[in-house]
């Protein structure tokens, strides 16, 4: 079995590592586009172009391909499914449904890139699952670049997390795979005040479901 993983930068490595652990017999082909990240502030047409170009080395070579980037999923996955109908793509999207099921305060926070927050798919998820909730969308636009460049401002992250906690959030969604690398910092800041949802925790189950289908 060959599994492909794509992300704009280092975020997808967490997904690749998770798949390696859960599918030890599989070969993992991981590609990224560090030269053009972050994707979050780009136009949709540019994100589609960059994603398609970066995927070329693994198209036709994998049993399925994980688009391990919320931004690229929101912008490009429907185009990719139409352009490459014989490929099996799995995308990542903000975990609004599980957050809605878990919250007790009725307040959730979505940490995501600007493009993801502006996307039609994200709006549809909110309308379907969070219509009666307060959804906080803190400004995290610098996080991916800081993580990619290994130049993290921990105080900025801590201040944002403390702000959403102060506003009543009891579920925090990490809606960018880069943010996996600061999950421990966020968990330390959150303590027992909120649940932190990370998409890498569920991706192996989705791969199994797709391949069985």
Task: Give the contacts of 178 (CB within 8 A, at least 6 positions apart).
Answer: 7, 9, 10, 11, 143, 144, 147, 148
Q: Which of the residues 62, 69, 111, 140 is marked catalytic?
A: 69
64 catalytic? Reply is no
End-to-end CA gap in the chain: 15
176 catalytic? Reply is yes
Residue 31 contacts residue 6 (beta carbons within 8 Å): yes
Q: Which of the residues 62, 111, 140, 176 is marked catalytic?
A: 176
Residue recorded with tokens 């960018």: 176
What SS3 state is found at 31?
Answer: strand
Q: Which two tokens stand for residue 107?
A: 């307040």
Q: Which of 57, 48, 54, 56 is nearest to 79 (CA)?
A: 48
Cα 75 from Cα 8, distance rounded (Å): 13
Distances (CA, A) of 187 to 47, 93, 201: 31, 21, 15
Q: Which strand (E) or helix (H) includes residue 113?
A: none
Residue 41 contacts residue 141 (beta carbons within 8 Å): yes
Catalytic residues: 69, 176
């Amino acid at each position: 079995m060959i599994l492909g993983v794509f992300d704009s930068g280092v975020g997808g490595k967490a997904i690749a590592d998770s798949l390696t652990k859960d599918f030890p017999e599989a070969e993992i082909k991981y590609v990224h586009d560090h030269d053009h990240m972050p994707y979050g502030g780009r136009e949709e047409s540019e994100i589609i172009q960059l994603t398609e170009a970066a995927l070329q080395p693994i198209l036709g070579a994998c049993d399925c391909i994980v688009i391990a980037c919320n931004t690229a999923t929101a912008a490009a996955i429907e185009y990719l499914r139409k352009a490459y109908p014989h490929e099996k793509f799995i995308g990542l999207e903000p975990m609004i449904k599980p957050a809605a099921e878990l919250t007790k305060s009725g307040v959730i926070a979505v940490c995501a890139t600007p493009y993801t927050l502006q996307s039609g798919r994200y709006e549809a998820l909110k309308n379907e699952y969070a219509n009666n909730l307060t959804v906080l969308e803190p400004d995290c636009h610098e996080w991916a670049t800081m993580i990619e460049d290994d130049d993290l401002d921990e105080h900025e992250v801590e201040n944002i997390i403390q702000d959403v906690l102060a506003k009543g959030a009891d579920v925090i969604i990490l809606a960018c795979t880069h943010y996996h690398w600061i999950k421990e910092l966020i968990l330390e800041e959150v303590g027992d005040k909120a649940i932190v949802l990370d998409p890498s925790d569920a991706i192996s189950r989705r791969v199994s479901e797709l391949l069985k289908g």
